[in-house]
Amino acid sequence: MQFAIFGGLSCVTPRKNDCSECAVKAAGLQVTFLLYNNDYSTPTAESWERDVFIRNVKSFNYAMGKDYHTSFD
């Protein structure tokens, strides 16, 4: 399951054995937001996606210095 959520997964420090802890160092993260698709919540979800989520993705991509996907249709 962890490889479905994190991309480029590795440990910050090498593990001593299979049972030792691993502070996750990941190059990517997948997030899923579950929303009800109904007349009450759809306008709020669309507004949140437009005003919060897309803005944060643009800011993150711009901060990475690659100007990657900073303009969405």
- The confidence score (pLDDT) of residue 73 equals 52
CA distances from 48 to 34, 55, 56, 59 (A): 13, 10, 11, 16
pLDDT tens digits, 28-70: 777 777 777 788 888 888 888 888 888 887 777 777 766 655 5
DSSP one-letter string for 22-45? --EE-SEE--------STTTHHHH
Question: Can you tell me the distance from the alpha carbon of 7 to that of 27, in angstroms, rounded to the nearest whole number?
Answer: 5
Its pTM stands at: 0.42
Question: Can you tell me the distance from the alpha carbon of 31 to that of 61, in angstroms, rounded to the nearest whole number?
Answer: 16
- The confidence score (pLDDT) of residue 34 equals 75
- The confidence score (pLDDT) of residue 72 equals 55
Q: Which of 71, 54, 70, 57 is nearest to 28 (CA)?
A: 57
- The confidence score (pLDDT) of residue 68 equals 59
